[in-house]
Chain A
């Protein structure tokens, strides 16, 4: 079974430039997550999709970050304009489970991440 695919693996940009990251989750997985992981910290959830709808984007800096999952499959995360503090690894994860009122969480499947360096 193919895992979560992300691209590009590495990106270096100047501040105020824009960048886009792409994620293709495991086939059939309803839920897709984007996380930001700054060096030395745990992942921070940016946005969660269930199929093509946004479930949670409360921690997404909406003035500069945007994300979409138009057909409920792959997803794109964009940053425009980038700031120095956006330097991080952007992780995509997927899960076959839909967000419900509770119950067992199951496993999140992560991609290898996209490392962004903003100069």
Chain B
């Protein structure tokens, strides 16, 4: 199972774009990259999933380079309410749910 490495914490300011990078050097050919967000006292919430290049939804964008050994979650124009822990997972439908790292604690300041 591919493991992921993320920064433990990040700070930013309201209105800025925030990019969180995840390293997954041992990603397998069939693996997808998925990001979740978790607020205190809540369960994780799905943000975005992708396999290659770029994926965008109403909340975020996910950039995946050609070698797929890393990925970057991009949050446009963050607000205070984006303060949360962000988890990067890799895997396919048979295994991706098995290993969660400690995530990246993102703190947005006014």
**A residues at B contact (CB < 8 Å):** 4, 33, 35, 40-45, 48, 56, 91, 93, 97, 99-113, 115
Contact = CB atoms under 8 A, between A and B. Distances in A.
Interface stretch (B18-26, B61-69, B98-106): B98-106
B101 A42 contact: yes
27 contacts: A33-B97, A35-B100, A42-B101, A43-B44, A56-B98, A93-B97, A97-B93, A99-B93, A99-B94, A100-B93, A100-B94, A102-B92, A102-B94, A103-B93, A104-B49, A104-B93, A105-B93, A106-B49, A107-B46, A107-B49, A108-B36, A108-B44, A110-B42, A110-B43, A110-B45, A112-B41, A113-B41
Identify whether the interface residues of B are mostly helix, strand, loop, or mixed: loop
B96 A42 contact: no
Interface residues of B, number: 24
A110 B44 contact: yes
A113 B43 contact: yes
Interface string B20-53: 0000000000101010100001111110010100
B9 to A, nearest CB: 11
B94 A108 contact: no
Nearest to B46: A107
